[in-house]
């Protein structure tokens, strides 16, 4: 990857079009490749370890390590691994075979020292491995409205043997604008296609597309901080002590989602109690099939919402020249009983992750701070008192009398440089 570029992954659902006489034949063939992929990955690890082991033993006896080229005729040992495995795994397209070997080779190099020291065992891959696809075996065709992908999964010999004249083609349904935009940028050459993966999950096929791009350059001030508060009344409330504008996104969608989730759980429990006693699991799955589908729809909805919220935050930061976004560290939100119950259902960690990823694309730095007392501190005088929060929505300082929306006050605190250290110092002084 070129210097100054970034690589990210987008997950696309696939719908089979053609390439085999039937969908089921395609699926059985690809599952066969999955089994072979696991074998290739583990054999690569084993061969790499064996080579290093005998080379080290040779060093102990002679004072010199074995030379790869002299022993194998290849400049690198991974080239020799490819030569050894290509005849045993001739069904796989050669470029994908090499990409699979390189995946395991990289994993081995990262753990090599610990393995040879005996401080960790040799890594291994479990079943149902995704197929590693070279960028040269993935061809995007169509447009963002009718998106298609053609995958070269099998070797020429395999296709000849089984009478297959073409590669496997899938349609790509677009679930949101982000997916559509990335696909179109790949088609237009704005993004470069990287190594991809074909994954089978929950009875569906997915393509994990790696795209490489150069982050956009903006006139941003790294010392200008946008504070982002996440709450119940407002899903997002962003402001800064460096500016007078605010970004507000109401949290009605958040609470509606929580209510739906709770209803689905109740429905699941109720229907499970009344399932018949047929084959184990059969009655349950049949009767609550719609519940499973609803949960998938809600999950997709939640993901879409978080994409939209994160884009709004980053776009606002870029537009107003904020070089830093500061947020509370909510990684332990589910364990924190101080948060409202409904907030514990919402994926704020996912939202923060999406903000971080989008910010990185635009050259905006993201800082996580200790959330302690950011909602209790007066952003005007610095006084910290639980009594400052008169209600969930209102803030009134018991010291200076400053009144404001509680989320606005919190976002002002969050936008202050070194606020967690300032709060910690204030609390220490109060306790002395």
- Output the domain CATH number for residue 371: 3.30.420
Nearest CA-CA partner of 397 in 418, 365, 414, 375:
375
Q: Is residue 23 part of a domain?
A: no
Q: HSE of 256 in the Cβ direction (CA atoms, 13 Å)?
A: 10
Q: Is 349 found in the same domain as 241?
A: yes
What's residue 224's pLDDT?
Answer: 94
Provide the pLDDT for residue 396.
95
Task: Please tell me the predicted confidence (pLDDT) of residue 139.
Answer: 95
* Domain boundary, last residue among 87, 117, 147: 117
What residues contact 200, with CB distance under 8 A and at least 6 apart? 30, 31, 34, 128, 130, 206
What's the pLDDT at 335?
Answer: 44
Question: What pLDDT sits at residue 254?
Answer: 61
pLDDT for the residue numbered 138: 96
Q: Which residues participate in catalysis according to the annotation?
A: 229, 328, 407
In a domain, 370, yes or no: yes
Per-residue pLDDT, 337: 41
Residues 33 and 66 in one domain: yes
Q: What is the pLDDT along the chain (432 residues), one digit of tens a residue?
A: 556 678 889 999 999 999 999 999 999 999 999 999 999 999 999 999 999 999 999 999 999 999 999 999 999 999 999 999 999 999 999 999 999 999 999 999 999 999 988 889 999 998 888 999 999 999 998 776 789 999 999 999 999 999 998 899 999 999 888 888 899 999 999 899 999 999 999 889 999 999 998 877 778 899 999 999 987 778 899 999 988 789 998 877 666 766 776 676 666 666 655 555 554 445 555 555 555 555 666 667 777 888 889 999 999 999 999 999 999 987 755 544 444 444 455 577 888 889 998 998 888 999 999 988 999 999 999 999 999 988 878 999 999 999 999 999 999 999 999 999 999 999 998 887
Residues 175 and 310 in one domain: no
Residue 308 lies in a domain: yes
- Residues in CB range of 308: below 8 A, 6 or more apart: none
pTM over 0.75: no
Smallest CA-to-CA distance from 116 within 41, 73, 60, 38 is with 60
pLDDT at 130: 94
Query: 3-class secondary structure for 91-138?
Result: CECHHHHHHHHHHHHHHHHHHHHHHHHCCCCCCCCCCCCCEEECHHHE
The answer to whether residues 373 and 386 touch, using CB atoms and an 8 Å cutoff, is no
Name the residue range of residue 206's domain: 6-14+130-213
Do 392 and 252 belong to one domain? yes
Residues 36 and 67 reside in one and the same domain: yes
Asked whether residue 233 falls in the same domain as residue 277, the answer is yes
Q: Indicate whether 426 and 311 sit together in one domain.
A: yes
How many beta carbons lie within 10 A of that of residue 4, not counting itself? 7
Residues 32 and 155 in one domain: no
Q: Centre a 10 Å sphere on the Cβ of residue 154 and count the other Cβ atoms it contains.
A: 26
Residue 328 lies in a domain: yes
* Structural domain contains residue 122: no
Tell me, yes or no, whether 148 and 198 share the same domain.
yes
With respect to residue 94, please indicate whether it lies within any of the assigned structural domains.
Answer: yes
**Do both 193 and 297 map to the same domain?**
no
Residue in 268, 374, 363 with CA at minimum distance from that of residue 318: 363
Say what the pLDDT of residue 403 is: 93
Tally of structural domains, the chain = 3
Q: Which of 184, 213, 242 is the last residue of a domain?
A: 213
206 and 242 housed in the same domain: no
Residues 208 and 262 in one domain: no
* CA dihedral over 229, 217, 184, 136, signed as positive or negative: negative
């Amino acid at each position: 990857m070129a210097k100054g570029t970034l690589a990210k992954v987008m997950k696309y659902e696939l719908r089979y079009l053609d390439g085999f006489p039937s969908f089921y034949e395609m699926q059985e063939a690809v599952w066969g490749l999955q089994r072979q992929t696991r074998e290739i990955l583990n054999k690569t690890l084993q061969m790499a370890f064996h080579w290093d082991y005998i080379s080290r033993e040779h060093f102990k006896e002679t004072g010199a390590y074995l030379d790869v080229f002299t022993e194998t005729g290849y400049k690198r040992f991974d080239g020799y691994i490819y030569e050894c495995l290509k005849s045993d795994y001739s069904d796989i397209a050669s470029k994908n075979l090499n990409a699979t070997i390189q995946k395991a080779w990289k994993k081995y190099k990262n753990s090599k020292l610990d393995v040879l020291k005996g401080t960790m065992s040799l890594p291994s891959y479990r079943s149902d491995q995704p197929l590693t696809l070279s960028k040269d075996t993935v061809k995007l065709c169509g447009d963002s409205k009718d998106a298609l992908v053609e995958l070269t999964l099998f070797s020429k010999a395999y296709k000849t043997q089984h009478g297959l004249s073409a590669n496997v083609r899938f349609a790509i349904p677009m679930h949101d604008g982000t997916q559509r935009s990335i696909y179109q940028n790949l088609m237009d050459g704005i993004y470069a296609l990287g190594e991809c993966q074909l994954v089978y999950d929950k009875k569906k096929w997915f393509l994990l597309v790696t795209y490489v791009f150069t982050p956009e350059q903006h006139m941003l001030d790294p010392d200008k901080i946008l504070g982002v508060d996440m709450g119940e009344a407002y899903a997002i409330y962003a402001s800064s002590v460096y500016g007078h504008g605010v970004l507000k996104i109401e949290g009605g969608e958040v609470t509606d989602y929580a209510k739906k989730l709770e209803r689905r759980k109740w429905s699941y429990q109720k229907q499970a109690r009344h399932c018949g006693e047929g084959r184990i699991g059969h009655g349950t799955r049949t009767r609550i099939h719609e519940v499973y589908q609803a949960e998938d729809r809600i999950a997709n909805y939640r993901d879409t919402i978080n994409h939209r919220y994160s884009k709004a935050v980053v776009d606002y930061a870029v537009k107003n020249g904020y070089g830093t976004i500061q947020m509370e560290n909510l990684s332990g939100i589910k364990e924190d009983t101080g948060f409202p119950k409904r907030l514990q259902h919402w994926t704020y960690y996912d939202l923060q992750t999406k903000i971080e990823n989008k910010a990185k694309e635009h050259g905006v730095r993201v800082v996580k701070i200790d959330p302690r007392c950011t909602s209790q501190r007066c952003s005007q005088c610095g006084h910290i008192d639980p009594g400052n929060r008169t209600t969930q929505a209102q803030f009134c300082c018991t010291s200076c009398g400053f009144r404001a929306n509680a989320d606005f006050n919190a976002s002002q605190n969050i936008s202050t440089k070194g606020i967690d250290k300032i709060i910690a110092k204030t609390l220490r002084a109060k306790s002395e």
